[in-house]
Structure 1
Amino acid sequence: MLRHTVKRQFNLFSRAKPVREAFLCAHNGVSAAVRISTMNRSNVLNYSTKIPPRLTAESYPNLQRLSEFKKLSSDDLTFFKSILSDSEILQATADEDLAVFNEDWMRKYKGQSKLVLRPKTVNQISQILKYCNDNRLAVVPQGGNTGLVGGSIPVFDEIVLSLTQLNKIRSFDSVSGILKCDAGVILENADSFLAENGYIFPMDLGAKGSCHVGGIVATNAGGLRLLRYGSLHGTVLGLEVVLPDGKILNSMDALRKDNTGYDLKQLFIGSEGTIGVITGVSILAPPRPKAVNVGFLGVGSYEAVQEVFVQAKQELSEILSAFEFMDLKSQTLAKEHLKGVSHPLEDEYPFYVLIETSGSNKEHDDAKLEAFLEKAMENGSVLDGVVAQDETELRNLWEWRESIPESSQAGGGVYKYDVSLPLKELYSLVDAANERLNEKGLSSTSDPTKPVISAIGYGHVGDGNLHLNVAVRAYSKEVEKVLEPFVYEFVSSKHGSISAEHGLGFQKKNYIGYSKNEQEIAMIKELKNLYDPNAILNPYKYV
């Protein structure tokens, strides 16, 4: 592993592998990367049951169930049983409250659905939606349920339409790189399939082992590779969507160039299941890079983060595939979460940068990366760093970035804000949030009587996306009122967006006005009313 141990002396940034076994070497026959992954899964189970969530209806008593929605009846169950097998229907009982479908990953929201439908075919979904539309039964489409704004779970007793069993690869063209798959295919599985064929899925997420391809399209997720491959609005070529009345819109055979009429698929990318249920995705996959490098760097300030980013774009250019930044507080929480695993850098720094390069020629890429690092060290913008030398080390370095969401929740809960801001202003929101929480006497990293641990910041510098996580010991209305609408007002004052990639869901529905003007909101509502006049799809959310 390329490692620097003496500040600002690049000639000591050698390629000798370090001997820090806890982080890099095998332990009892199990690699560090495997140990970290196992640890994360264990912690998820521990802290996800630590504080049972309250019903969303109880947390927001002013929100009332819409009376026009019909309550589930025995006749409805009879119909669903006529088109689905027993294994495709899950009902709540005295011993089973369907918590895995009613609760979000953060355990902030909890619905009251009594019925989960798990169809295996698009035709079944069509029949289900037509029946629900005709009978005014509200429906919540649900994929991997990894959303962070309460968009994929019921609020009241809506029927959960789970796409977990619609999970087949339909076709792949190895010449064009076009993948066609069901919406319920897990992102990691899609990427693994493409890897076998020499291609890569054009986006990556920390939740790739759980999230669905259809779900990331429905939320227009951004992820870790947007800097290199662009957004889903560009890579998705076609969709298959079941509309609220049961009709099936199919543009799966779309080509890369087609100027005949409106590009209808764009309506559904980021629509969060409010005007149709995505059942199939056609997406353009780029060739898989043959050489990947990852560097983990320590820098002295957010200004230095920006300097390194500019240098990386200039020096690394076409091989730069990811540029992530993290503050010291985020890494402190990660250290507490990944107990017993040594941090990549021995000394602490105010900010950290993770750089990934991807290309087709390892010697070429290595030379460019070394030249970039040497220059960055000499001019003082980078103070320390490591570069992975094999796949295990690469995964370990990424783990310190991808473990932050779980680490920030491990203390009891987390308020997550996913925003876009001009790069110069990106971290200012974290400073402002910490200042406000301290002024209100709510925050302390050491005092367990304070509800807030700290506000931390990390994100995708390449596309101006900040993740503000406010780690708390418990969810409370007091903290929420201090943060909202303060965070949204701050973002609006900087001409940013209150949702960069997580969507609006339930959490941000009432704050869309901070990013969209009245005419834009009116048109969004008109589209909703046009395609879903009975408002059965994902009610109480979005707008």
Structure 2
Amino acid sequence: MQVLLTHNTDWLGKYRGSGPVVLKPKTTQEVSSILKYCNDNSIAVVPQGGNTGLVGGGVPVRDEIVLSTSLMQTIESFDPVSGILTCQAGCILESLDGYLADRGFCMPLDLGAKGSCQIGGNIATNAGGIRFVRYGSLHGTVLGLEVVLPDGTVVDTISPCRKDNTGYDIKQLFIGSEGTLGVVTRASLLTSSRASAVNVALLGCESYESVVELLAQARGMLGEVVSAVEFLDDSCMDVIQTNLPGGTNPLSANYPFYFLVETSGSNNDHDTEKLNKYLESVIESGVCVDGTVAMDTTQQKALWAIREEISGALLGDGYVYKYDISLPVSKMYDIVEDMRKRCEGLTVRVCGYGHIGDGNLHLNITSKEYNPELLAKIEPYVYEYTAGENGSVSAEHGLGYMKSKCIHYSKSPAAVTLMHQIKSLFDPKGILNPYKLLPPNSANK
């Protein structure tokens, strides 16, 4: 029963279904047989990877069968000349990166949940992560997919080549489709050479405007060696210090905002010189008022831990309302300040952090326990605000069940209609991951 409960409950414990069966195939053919049987008998199926999602996209809503790819962990091949890796969908992201590290390469995707998330789930949600600013999205790094359609048909677009200009790029439909069109079983991925020189610095500043200026100068002065740029506010630093044993601020004082920058390259002297000139410039101009540079890999991991442990530390406040949105970088923090005023007296904290380099804000609001009055203050206001800034209500976590009725805030009616038509074409019986991604209609039963 505990196994069923684990697969029926999402990471936050917010969504819980009553799926009576968990199936764990090891091969593509087994996935095909399962889906064909379920399609023939109109049985709903939820594809599930590492179950690290935050929007209820990978767990049953009602009594759907769970199809877990956790036993599909074979790394099939790696070409050290092209950097192309082919593997099954259940491979853990961190395990793939470890395999590549021994060969001088790295995964272009890096997430806080890398120790448990699976590459198939990453692809299904088009996960972005902390190095999106360097490597871009999975739409560019996934070269080919093997996908099983709801009726059991296997579509194989796996290729050893980087370029293929023949017809429609079918694989792109499945990247970010959240398991509603097919189940990803295998993937070929373009990996990157592993950096031999890495620098990480954490800077303190007095305003969000300074954070934006730090980003602008990083783009100009660090250029090709920038691999990650993140920001967090003082409330995030406070939750690390308050809710995590041993959580500390490595700077000499607390500041309103923090800016984390990483460089990665092949020449340590060159990269260090560029970083030092950047730091001298932002300190002399007053944009940055304090900072620290990691002296070794242990310190680098400690600085990154501050950013990566925010999400878990917030759970110590009680109940967490999490929003993953895209906004124009210059205005990205305005919504955090706006929500503090709007929700005053109902929260433990309202904080903002995220991928400043690509305009991806993680807005987190906590209360001691679930409060419907607070939720009414947040939703749908947070989506309306985002739409008013021409932003996206989901920057990288997907829509899942939580936001399936909110897609119209970011997509036109014509686009949503087209998505329904695609869903109906691939899954006419609506058996794959129902109630997710799209609002209900005849194409999404």
TM-score normalised by structure 1 residue count: 0.80
SS at match of 2:258: strand
Distance 1:340 1:486 in 2: 36
Matched, 1:226 2:121: no
Deviation readout 1:53-106 (Å, 9 max, x if unpaired): xxxxxxxxxxxxxxxxxxxxxxxxxxxxxxxxxxxxxxx4xxx47221111111
Whether 2:367 is the aligned partner of 1:463: answer no
After superposition, residues 125-524 of structure 1 pair within 5 angstroms as 125-253=31-159, 255-438=161-344, 441-442=345-346, 452-524=347-419
Q: Which amino acid aligns with 1:209?
A: G
1:68-79 pair list within 5 angstroms: none
Counterpart of 1:534? 429
Amino acid at match of 1:234: G
Q: Which amino acid aligns with 2:267?
A: N
Report the equivalent of 1:38.
none
Range that drifts further, 305-314 or 469-478: 469-478
C-alpha distance in 1, partners of 2:3/2:129?
Answer: 32
- What secondary structure is seen at the aligned counterpart in 2 of 1:179? strand
In structure 1, what residue type is equivalent to 2:242?
A: E
Structure 2 unaligned blocks of 5 or more: 439-445
Q: Secondary structure of the equivalent of 2:343?
A: helix
2:203–2:259 CA contact under 8 A, matched in 1: yes
Deviation at 1:343, TM superposition (A): 1.5
- Letter in structure 2 aligned against 1:483: I
Residue 349 of structure 2 aligns to a residue whose secondary structure is strand
Distance across 1 between alignment mates of 2:239 and 2:376: 24
Q: After the TM superposition, which residues 73-92 of structure 1 pair with which residues of structure 2 at under 5 Å, given as runs? A: 92=1
Other structure's SS at 1:541 match? coil
Alpha-carbon shift at residue 413 of structure 1 (Å): 2.1
Please state whether the residue corresponding to 2:202 is helix, strand or coil: strand
Answer yes or no: is the 8 Å Cα contact 2:7–2:51 preserved in 1.
Answer: yes
User: Aligned equivalents of 2:220 and 2:332: distance in 1?
Assistant: 21
* Distance verdict in 2 for CA 1:97–1:233, change over 3 Å: closer
In structure 1, list runs of 5 or more residues that go unmatched: 1-91, 443-451
- In structure 1, distance between residues paired with 2:291 and 2:5: 43
Query: Which residues in structure 2 correspond to 1:18-167 (within 5 Å)?
Result: 92=1, 96=2, 98-167=4-73
Q: Distance in 1 between matches of 2:118 and 2:218?
A: 32
Matched residues in 1 for 2:414 and 2:235: separation? 40
The CA deviation string for residues 304-338 of structure 1, in whole angstroms up to 9 with x for no partner, is 00000011111100000000000000110111122
Q: After superposition, what is the alpha-carbon deviation per residue over 1:498-520, rounded to whole angstroms, capped at 9, x for unaligned?
A: 00000000010111110000000
**Percent of aligned positions with the same letter in both sequences?**
53
The answer to whether the 8 A contact 2:49-2:121 is kept is yes
- Please tell me whether the aligned partners of residues 105 and 193 of structure 2 are also in contact (alpha carbons under 8 angstroms): yes
| Secondary structure at 2:348 match in 1 | strand
**RMSD across aligned positions (CA):** 0.9
Task: Quote the offset at 1:255 in angstroms.
Answer: 2.1
SS of 1:298 mapped into structure 2: strand
Distance in 2 of aligned mates of 1:383 and 1:225: 25
| Pairwise CA distance, 1:342 | 2.7
Partner of 2:443: none
Q: Which residue type is aligned with residue 108 of structure 1?
A: K
Partner letter of residue 200 of structure 1? C
**Amino acid of the residue matched to residue 423 of structure 1?**
V
In 2, distance between residues paired with 1:516 and 1:299? 36
SS of structure 1 residue aligned to 2:90: coil
Task: Identify the range of structure 1 (404-413 vs 132-141) with the bigger mean alpha-carbon deviation.
Answer: 404-413
Could you tell me how far apart the structure 2 residues matched to 1:395 and 1:413 are? 28
Contact 1:411 1:473 in 2 (8 A): yes
1:347, distance to aligned residue in structure 2 (A): 0.5
Matches of 1:322 and 1:97 in 2, distance apart? 37
CA deviation after TM superposition for structure 1 residue 432, in Å:
1.1
> Highest CA radius of gyration, 1 or 2?
1
CA distance in 1 between partners of 2:243 and 2:215 (Å): 28
8 Å Cα contact 2:240-2:248 kept in structure 1: no
Deviation at 1:254, TM superposition (A): 5.3
Contact 2:323/2:364 (8 A) holds in 1: yes
Find the aligned partners of 1:254 and 1:456 in 2 and give their Cα distance.
Answer: 44
Runs of 4+ more than 6 Å apart: none
Amino acid in the other structure paired with 1:366 = T
| Residues 84, 160 of structure 2: 8 Å contact kept | no
Partner secondary structure for residue 431 of structure 1: helix
CA positional deviation for 1:114:
1.2
Structure 2 counterpart SS, 1:261: coil
